[in-house]
Structure 1
Amino acid sequence: MSKTYTVTGMSCDHCEQSVEEAVGALPGVESAEADNESDTLVVEGEPDDDAVATAVSDAGYELSA
């Protein structure tokens, strides 16, 4: 299952990598791919939405609905 989230605050490759590592470590996540140009995060797997939001926030960015 693939799910796309909107993440604000990313501005570079390092930002993308930080979000990908934080979300990729969550249970149920097979892969995470962030794109700062489109402000998106595509997650493969079946993650908990609240856990994704917390991981993104802990990485210093904001998940938008």
Structure 2
Amino acid sequence: MDGAVAGAASHLRNAADHQVSAPVSSVDEEIRRRNVRTALWLAATAVAVFVMFLLRYGMSSQ
């Protein structure tokens, strides 16, 4: 059990050291921006499809 705790502690320590010592590169920033842009496009598409669905089936009942 002590080995598992020590292993987890060293893993957490390495992750913390890596996060502090590694600055955000321009590639990481570009990937993050692309992910945000993709998420916004997907959200806009979902809203547009939902509105079209409401217009099509909401208006047909009247």
Fold shared by both chains (TM-score > 0.5): no
Structure number with the bigger relative contact order (C-alpha 8 A, sep ≥ 6) is 1
Structure with the higher helix share, 1 or 2 = 2
When normalised by structure 2's length, the TM-score is 0.27
When normalised by structure 1's length, the TM-score is 0.26
Bigger CA radius of gyration: 2
Structure with the higher strand share, 1 or 2 = 1
